[in-house]
Structure 1
Amino acid sequence: MVLDNTLAAIQPGAFTLRFGTAYYDGSKWFAEVGGNLLSARWADPTQAVQGAKIMVGIVNEGRGQSSAYVLSGFSDQPRPSSGQITAVGVDELLFAGDDGGIYATKRFIGPTSDYALGNPVQLIWTMGYPTVLGVIAALATPPPAAPPAPPPVVAAGTEVLTATASDTFGVGGWGRWAGGGEKVYSGTYGGYTLTGSFFYGAPRPALAGKTITAIRFRVPQRLTVGNYNSGATIHLYAHTSGARPGGDVARVAGPFDIAVSAGQPPAWVTIPIGNAAFAGIAAALVNGGGISFAGDPYTGWTSRLTDPLAGQLELDWSA
């Protein structure tokens, strides 16, 4: 026989590979190779199916003894890993594999009622026979990403106004009193009436449409003029100019009176919302106006050139 000749030709310890089929005689599995039923060892785990194609390794162990080893099943093409149900029987499923072939199987997980025409299914193969593992769940399309949250609406805040100029008007114009230098004077001295002002430039867009809820003003260092060794009450007004006008400023709201001490250092004062002059002062400042000192007693105050924070304003607002 051909196989006998093959075995005889194998040198001791040598190995040859043959193709055959699995055969079960009712009590034991054999490897059928070239018409011969060989008792064989089977690779573990090998789940044999009657008639399945198998690869058999044959080793000559010497002294005329040969052993057969079933290495695995094989097929001419790879088995499909998935398919689509084409029919559902009482105990059998038919499916089209993803390789284009049509197959039938009585091996499936769950009852046949779990399967319907067109279901995509996952497959596993054992020695050439398919088992349907179940229906492949459709991949859910992820929902579109939520748009970014809009920026929070700022409902309140504080706008800081730093003086762009300070000066005194009197004796025929701006900056002619006591050597100029943007110092601020107010009151009457030697028959001359003086007024001093702080200017803040153009209107602030951030304040448009807002409600002003508090105003704080930084009174500068008091100068050693007039009765500087005594306390005094000074008078603050709002004016309408963003910069020095040709003449004195137009004071439109006030006065807001504050008490100052002898030689007072820079100090913050609050114009509360309940003050009678508050609404007019707030409106003037929002529209680009500034703060003016006017009226007796005669006092002098550091310029913004000496102290950049002289006359600074803080306006609290709400939307």
Structure 2
Amino acid sequence: MVALVKTKEAIPAGGTTREYGTAYFDGTEWWANVRGGMLMARWNKNVQPVQGGKIVVDITSDGRGLATALVVCEYDDQPAPSTGSVLAVGMDEIIFTGDDGGTYTTKSFLGPVTDYAPGNPVKLSWASNQPTILGVIAAINAPPAQPPLPPPAAPDIIQTGQETLIATASDTYGVGGWGRWAGSQNGGEQLYSGSMAGQVLTGSWFYGPPRPALAGKTITRVQFRVPARLNNVGNYNSAATMHVYAHTSQYRPGGDVGRSVGPFDVVLAAGQVPAWIDLPTSFGPVIAAGGGISIAGDPYIGLNGRRKDPESGKLLMDWNI
């Protein structure tokens, strides 16, 4: 962020500098992540951002110490192919190879799927790295009719991917309800776990409804971003074991969440800073079905929620089919 501040200061009044960053959605609105700094920006209406997608950002100085950011477009290291050839046709999807030599799968195409057959040359359109087949490219001079060749066997393709989940809420349950303890009050959404002053406290992250992108997929890896530990909470100058569970609630329920998988124990260092950890893959199906992450049990600890850290509880879910 310091480098970005220096960049802003160096822009002459009315001048513009071009930066390259990524799109970031915090569960409520989109931000431009440039050099680790989150910028509130205006967006070109033709940009259809995806989480982590590469974007071009123009930053303009007004000469009074302020700057505005405009997301101009998305970009990639190489252009997307404009044409391709059908490899295989399924019930509701088409597998094709692009003129760049890559193999792609899409459920977006014009006309019925029966209009396409293996070997058809096709015209492509792209939006946010997602291809749409616009139709079969007609031959200018059709060759003499030949006996039809048997269609090639569809290749055995193992599809893989990664889905990013940003917490839509984080909170603490205790003292008879949600958001009634210390930094979780008044919408603070800080998280606490353990026993203190006769109260039993649990913390949870929520991610909303089930993700269609994970339906029917095998979860092969679950990465979880542990936020910074809160100072002055419990024995914050000593290491502490945090007990992590998967729970089954899309949003804050009336009572505490139902923890169905776990505990998985994680040792927090004194003064723990944000860090990525791997959770057991057994957490994957629960989260994919609309569940979340919870911490429960002693010792008494506190962690930053999403209000203090927009990436608190962020999940990366690797999958294959």
RMSD: 2.7
Give the AA of the match of 2:163.
E
2:194 maps to: 187
Matches within 5 A, 1:53-72: none
The structure whose Rg is larger is 1
- C-alpha separation in 1, matches of 2:320 and 2:225: 22
2:209 maps to: 202
Q: Which runs of 4+ in 1 moved over 6 A?
A: none
- C-alpha separation in 2, matches of 1:152 and 1:192: 56
Corresponding pairs, count = 175
1:302 maps to: 304
Matches within 5 A, 1:267-286: 267-272=275-280, 278-279=281-282, 281-286=283-288
Give the AA of the match of 1:175.
G
CA deviations 1:157-214 (Å, max 9, x no partner) are: 1111110000000001000100420000000001100000000000011111111111
Give the AA of the match of 1:141.
P
1:217 maps to: 224
Give the AA of the match of 1:269.
I
1:164 maps to: 168
- C-alpha separation in 1, matches of 2:210 and 2:146: 47
2:266 maps to: 258
1:141 maps to: 144
- C-alpha separation in 1, matches of 2:265 and 2:202: 15
Matches within 5 A, 1:36-55: none
| Secondary structure in structure 2 of the residue aligned to 1:217 | strand
- C-alpha separation in 1, matches of 2:310 and 2:243: 22
Matches within 5 A, 1:27-42: none
Contiguous gaps of at least 5 residues in structure 2: 1-141
Question: Is 1:229 aligned with 2:237?
Answer: yes
Contiguous gaps of at least 5 residues in structure 1: 1-138, 273-277
| Secondary structure in structure 2 of the residue aligned to 1:247 | coil
Identity across the alignment (%)? 59
Deviation at 1:141, TM superposition (A): 2.7
- C-alpha separation in 1, matches of 2:305 and 2:162: 24
Q: TM-score, normalization: structure 2?
A: 0.51
Deviation at 1:142, TM superposition (A): 7.0
Measured at CA, do residues 140 and 316 of structure 1 come closer, stay the same or move farther in structure 2, by a change above 3 Å? closer
CA deviations 1:5-28 (Å, max 9, x no partner) are: xxxxxxxxxxxxxxxxxxxxxxxx
| Among candidates 175, 182, 206, match of residue 178 of structure 1 | 182
2:255 maps to: 247
Give the AA of the match of 2:246.
A
Deviation at 1:316, TM superposition (A): 1.0
| Secondary structure in structure 1 of the residue aligned to 2:287 | helix
Give the AA of the match of 2:238.
S
| Secondary structure in structure 2 of the residue aligned to 1:285 | helix
Q: TM-score, normalization: structure 1?
A: 0.51
| Secondary structure in structure 2 of the residue aligned to 1:282 | helix
Give the AA of the match of 1:165.
A
